[in-house]
């Protein structure tokens, strides 16, 4: 596959999210390596908490349908995961829970996720850089049949790690984040 289609997003809903800045940098590395990248914000896909009774009564919410269609039309994922209370965010988990659902009798659950390849990263104001969320995100994604590449990046002290323009101050960190995007593209060669 020459030009993989990649969906890039963070698990944050905050407008000035460090993780949205981080995923934007990884997306630029993937674009530079030849991928077609769609960068989104989960805040644009407002969904209720997943509830099977709600799904049975009303069907999949429109925002979840739109997000699922994006997942279905992309080959791989670039995900930046904030760390909330030492784990992944409810927004990220909820989005994947909705996307994982079958919407017709001939569709299998997880069908839009199965077989995708992903890279993961995190940024956090704390000293661990969100690494604890990645420890949980990796097996979660792998359990739903997404291959996660081994390299990952955690950016600690995120409040001082980015310039006002959204670039990383540390050139080594910046290179590592862009390299994640490049490695994801290379995995489709």
d(C-alpha 143, C-alpha 22), whole Å: 25
* pLDDT above 90 coverage of the chain, percent: 97
d(C-alpha 90, C-alpha 83), whole Å: 10
Residue 34 contacts residue 2 (beta carbons within 8 Å): yes
Sign, CA torsion 55/61/67/69:
positive
The gap between the terminal CA atoms of the chain, to the nearest Å, is: 6
Convert the pLDDT of each residue in 9-41 to its tens digit.
Answer: 999 999 999 999 999 999 999 999 999 999 999
| DSSP annotation string for 52-90 | HHHHHHH-S-HHHHHHHHHHHT-SEEEEE---BTTB--H
pLDDT at 148: 98
Above 80 in pLDDT, residue 1? no
Q: What is the CATH number of the domain that holds 91?
A: 3.40.50.360
CB 6: neighbour CB atoms within 10 A?
28
Above 80 in pLDDT, residue 171? yes
Residue 180: pLDDT band (50, 70, 90) is very high
144 burial (CB, 10 Å; 0-12 / 13-18 / 19+) is: middle
**Centroid of chain to Cα 154:** 14
Convert the pLDDT of each residue in 53-79 to its tens digit.
Answer: 999 999 999 999 999 999 999 999 999
d(C-alpha 32, C-alpha 127), whole Å: 30
Q: Which domain holds residue 24?
A: 5-186
pLDDT at 2: 72
Mean pLDDT for the chain overall: 96
**Contacts with 62 (C-beta within 8 Å, 6 or more apart), sequence order:** none
Residue 165: pLDDT band (50, 70, 90) is very high
**How many domains are contained in the chain?**
1
Closest-CA residue to 30 (of 94, 81, 79, 103): 79
Residue 118 contacts residue 79 (beta carbons within 8 Å): yes
pLDDT at 83: 94
Convert the pLDDT of each residue in 97-155 to its tens digit.
Answer: 999 999 999 999 899 999 999 999 999 999 999 999 999 999 999 999 999 999 999 99
Closest-CA residue to 160 (of 149, 168, 152): 168
């Amino acid at each position: 596959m020459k030009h993989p289609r990649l969906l890039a997003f963070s698990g944050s809903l905050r407008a000035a999210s460090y993780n949205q800045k981080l995923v934007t940098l990884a997306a630029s590395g993937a674009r530079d390596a030849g991928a077609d990248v769609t960068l989104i914000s989960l805040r644009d896909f407002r969904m209720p908490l997943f509830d099977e009774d709600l799904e049975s009564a009303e069907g999949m919410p429109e925002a979840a349908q739109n997000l699922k269609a994006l997942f279905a039309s992309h080959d791989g994922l670039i995900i930046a995961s904030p760390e909330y209370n030492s784990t992944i965010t409810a927004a990220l988990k909820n989005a994947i829970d909705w996307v994982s659902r079958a919407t017709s009798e001939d569709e299998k659950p997880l069908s839009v996720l199965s077989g995708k390849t992903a890279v993961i990263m995190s940024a956090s104001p704390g000293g661990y850089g969100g690494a604890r969320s990645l420890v949980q995100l990796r097996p979660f994604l792998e359990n739903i049949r997404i291959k996660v590449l081994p390299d990952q990046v955690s950016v600690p002290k995120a409040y001082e790690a980015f310039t006002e323009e959204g670039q990383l101050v540390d050139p080594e960190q910046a290179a590592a984040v862009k390299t994640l995007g490049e490695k994801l593209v290379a995995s489709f060669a």
